[in-house]
Chains A and B, each alone.
Chain A
């Protein structure tokens, strides 16, 4: 069953065409990696799929419903069910809010303001455990966290209310190699436990090989190759994909 899809989506920024007639479908509990070099249009496509920017043309569907035709309540439901983890973890957390407050916000967004804070906090603690963070981070501000800690907090924030889709936009690119591995291991574990669909956006094909079912390769705003992860990695059909794989090795 398809949870998030787009049909013939294009996006123009003044004279630049960032995305050109892209169609794709993300199944329930499926994980897709969108790979391409900088400027290939992958982040723009992710932002369109996640509803952060509207496409210039084409249609995006969530749970079979057009996003552009959604009523306010349906749109808010979509918004809460499609979450993002961004590239710069510290910048994506509010500088003046403690981690505890930042992690409570998704519950408020879901209209669970009346839920006991105690209940929310115990859910937060369980979620922190899953990403190997301890309680002490809750009383810290983003600038007091390391890059890896901040990214794990962002992951918890995105996943704490069990959304249907999580989009990771270059989520490990800004981290050093050891922390990258740690975060990828955490994401692998999370994938086993939670029935959520994932969209991994990255320029480094090696970071998604163990996390995705399918890989989509983008170049100049178009999809140049799409297929199962093993197939694309072992037997790439497009020369550009080959170059990406070679550069990752």
Chain B
């Protein structure tokens, strides 16, 4: 069953990935090209998914939106993973008072609703792709910091860690060669699941007009634009809505199956 879930998640993720990758060098039409005489055209051989209220090609916009979603999600979560893990490692291995300062700071960040934090950041530093990326990365930092902190603390008294210390290995080597291989599966799982959350936050910000701004394309922005015509032209809302669900579902499934597989691997190695 798990095997099929992994295959399903890969198949689901192949859809936005392929669309996004192809958009790097080809889109059927420029995403900003308007054709006011051809608004709400519906599906046709010229426009496979039809056109929107400005006569823009929906497929082209969807391809670019997929690219932004995956790129923003991956880059922001990677940033969050690196900075958060580093903070987590320092907190776990530092003296108590340093650890306390870091932990209270992380707790403070976690207590703050992520979307509100991201909104505040975007409002202060301006909207656009880069601000959205940094805002999501900031939101991810405490999640990874907390996780890494607890994973390291969990392993700190394991005999192989005590043995590594007793040999006289440097802290850097102990972290790199001893802690990391053990905590990596959990971080990879969290990484995969967090990209899904990051894409949802990006969509929410864009929907609220604080993320990716027109004339660029994003799932949230496309949903917001289609919302006004939902009753008269319902097909407008479907492509971006369905692709958003497919992407997030694929990432979450991937996270779950990776977790199971990597944990199993850890068990056999014990």
Using a CB-CB cutoff of 8 Å, which residues 45-61 of chain A contact chain B?
50, 52
Answer whether A93 and B160 are a contact pair too, CB < 8 Å, given A108-B173, A141-B269, A143-B270.
Answer: yes
- Give the residues from 118 to 170 in chain A that come closer than 8 angstroms, CB to CB, to chain B: 141, 143, 154, 157
Query: How far is it, in angstroms, between the C-alpha of A106 and the C-alpha of B169 when the chains are bound?
Result: 7
On chain A, the residues within 8 Å of B173 by CB distance are 105, 108-109
A17 CB within 8 Å of chain B: no
Within 8 Å of chain B (Cβ to Cβ): is A97?
yes
Question: Out of B168, B181, B266, B270, which one reaches A80, CB within 8 Å?
Answer: B168
Q: Which of A70-114 contact B (CB under 8 A)?
A: 76, 79-80, 82-84, 86, 88, 91-97, 101, 105-106, 108-110
CB-based contact A79/B166 at 8 Å: yes
Rounded to whole angstroms, the CA-CA distance of A93 and B270 in the bound complex is 10
**How many A residues have CB within 8 A of the partner chain?**
27
B179-192 interface mask toward A, CB cutoff 8 Å, 1 = contact, 0 = none?
00110000000000
- Selected from A92, A97, A110, the residue in CB contact (under 8 A) with B159 is A92
Question: Would A105 and B269 count as touching, CB distance under 8 A?
Answer: no
Closest to B179 in A: A94
Question: Across the two chains, which residue of chain A brings its CB closest to B173?
Answer: A108
Distance in angstroms between the alpha carbons of A110 and B165 in the assembled complex: 13
Q: How many pairs, one residue from A and one from B, have CB atoms within 8 Å of each other in the complex?
A: 67
CA distance A207 to B164 in the complex (A): 26
B270 pairs with A84, CB closer than 8 A: no
B163/A109 in contact, CB under 8 A: no
The minimal Cβ–Cβ distance linking A76 to chain B, given in whole angstroms, is 6
| A83 close to B160 (CB less than 8 A) | no
Q: Which residue of A lies closest to B160 (CB)?
A: A94
Nearest residue in A to B170 (C-beta to C-beta)?
Answer: A109
**In the bound complex, do residue B168 and residue A109 qualify as a contact, i.e. CB atoms below 8 Å apart?**
yes
Q: Is the CB of A95 within 8 A of B169?
A: no
- CB distance B166 to A83 under 8 Å? yes
Check: B230 CB closer than 8 A to any chain A CB: no
Given contacts A52-B165, A79-B168, A106-B168, 9 further A-B contacts (CB under 8 A): A84-B163, A86-B162, A95-B160, A96-B182, A97-B181, A105-B177, A108-B173, A109-B170, A157-B167
